[in-house]
Structure 1
Amino acid sequence: MIPARAQIPEDPTPGNYVVVDVAQFSTTVPELFANGATYVHVTEDRGDELAFKEANPRAKIGGGSGPNYRGEPGYDFFNSPSFVQGVDVAGCPTAMTSTNGGNAVTDLRSAGGDEVDVYVGGLTNGVALADHLREQDAETYFVAAGSNGKPSPEDVAGALFIARHLLGDPPTDRELAVYHEMVAFSKGPKYERRPQIKRTDLYEYALAVDSRDVVPKLDGQKLYDVAGSA
């Protein structure tokens, strides 16, 4: 496991890399696919989404959360699994990035080139992702995205959850409760001081274990749902 985005090596060992950013990127991306998005274009820099939409008029694009977590003008959504429920992405390309998970995807793409395959996983799609990775020949590495260059307990918990399923040793109910507590205690107190949407994102979406059969895999700059493919 790579315990934070800042520790992604400049020359990563070839293999499969799973970016885990439980709050929010690794939870928002599966929701976009579950709602019918054709792909998620991961922009290199925040702001590049506007040019992407100009080139792809049907695209729905995500930006910053804006004042009081209502989004920014010119954007269709932001990095929130609950907010995207109100955005019609069915049959549409989407584009977004994020400070931690999205940038970790870009870091791996830039550093690893064709030698690494990048996936996005969290608690909601971890079982489906583990089932897919078990059929692959390459070694799997987990990138717990973290925050501000430091490890985050919720991302470590998410990575362990996927890893245990990948190894054929899924967590017991008691162990799963511990993972749940790691996520809730890590983010919950801070979110109590923020708008309700943050608590909804955490408790109703990020902690909805095994609720999505989505396997986001990077191809170029785009994540596609490869669930069901070998």
Structure 2
Amino acid sequence: MNPLTDGVAESLPIDRMIPARAQIPEDPNPGNYIVVDVAQFSTTVPELFANGAEYIHITEDRGDEPAFKRDNPRARIGGGSGPEYQGEPGYDFFNSPSFVQDVDVAGRPTAMTSTNGGNAVTDLRLAGSDDVDIYVGGLTNGVALADHLRERDGKTYFVAAGSGGKPSPEDVAGALFIARHLFEDPPTDRELSVYLEMVEFSKGPKYERRPRIKRTDLYEYALDVDSRDVVPKLDGQKLYNVSKDS
């Protein structure tokens, strides 16, 4: 008898959780890998697709996006947040789910990366092989992603991107939320409120000291559970929405 694990669903094996980008293995096991970066990458990506983006090219390095746009003149590209979170000159948007609402991406290719989630996608792509499939998920599209992966073969691994090489509570909470849905043991209302509190109290205090857009991104977007039927999957260096409804 183990009081810490008795009653916990056997379908949540702890060896499927990668609690930080820095812990992505050099030779990942075959399977499906979900990159979870709740604030902001895993929330911005579904918003770009919800607003009609054709695909999202994940650049290997920040600064590669202008070259992508030269080759794809219709593209919209994302860069750093810039002064006061207004974006950088020469870029169309930055990693913010609220900022991209006013960017015309419908039917257009886009390109971006991010320090944690975007780079975790790239790390997995470079380390993996043809038997590693990479997805992006958060609280907004986690249910749709779980429904999609439940119909696929292979084990699923959860990459809680973290920050600065260390785990982040909000990403672990997001990964657990998706896992519970994937294994058909969804969190109760009370459990969900705890997950959301983990996200809010991990980021909220810091965002109170930053421009309002950060709080908008958190409270109006990142915490808007099950609001997007978007399933971002990497093909080559590009994310596509492979949802049946796309």
Name the TM-score, length of structure 2 as normaliser: 0.93
Alignment match, 1:139: 155
Unaligned runs of 5+ in 2: 1-16
Instruction: State the percentage of identical aligned residues.
Output: 86
Unaligned runs of 5+ in 1: none
1:228 shift after superposition: 1.4
1:223 and 2:239 correspond: yes
Alignment match, 2:211: 195
Alignment match, 2:190: 174
Give, in whole Å, the separation in 1 of the partners of 2:58 and 2:228.
20
SS at match of 2:32: strand
Give, in whole Å, the separation in 2 of the partners of 1:98 and 1:113.
22
123, 143, 152: which one aligns with 1:107: 123
Q: 1:178-207 CA deviation, whole Å, 9 max, x = no partner?
A: 001000000000000000000000000000
1:88 and 2:104 correspond: yes
1:71 and 2:87 correspond: yes
Alignment match, 1:55: 71
Give, in whole Å, the separation in 1 of the partners of 2:188 and 2:74.
44
1:7 and 2:36 correspond: no
Q: 1:4-51 CA deviation, whole Å, 9 max, x = no partner?
A: 000000000010000000000000000000000000000000000000
Match for 1:131: what amino acid? Answer: D
RMSD (Å), alpha carbons: 0.6
Match for 1:43: what amino acid? Answer: T
Q: Give the 5 Å matches for 1:123-138.
A: 123-138=139-154
Q: 1:82-140 CA deviation, whole Å, 9 max, x = no partner?
A: 00001010000000000000000000000002120000000000000000000001100
1:42 and 2:58 correspond: yes
166, 171, 181: which one aligns with 1:150: 166
Match for 1:146: what amino acid? Answer: G
Give, in whole Å, the separation in 2 of the partners of 1:2 and 1:16.
13
Give, in whole Å, the separation in 2 of the partners of 1:45 and 1:116.
21
Alignment match, 2:35: 19
SS at match of 1:179: helix
Give, in whole Å, the separation in 2 of the partners of 1:8 and 1:169.
26
SS at match of 2:43: helix
What is the number of equivalent residue pairs in this alignment? 229
Give, in whole Å, the separation in 2 of the partners of 1:92 and 1:120.
20
Name the TM-score, length of structure 1 as normaliser: 0.99
120, 127, 134: which one aligns with 1:118: 134
Match for 2:198: what amino acid? Answer: M
Match for 1:5: what amino acid? Answer: R
Match for 2:89: what amino acid? Answer: P
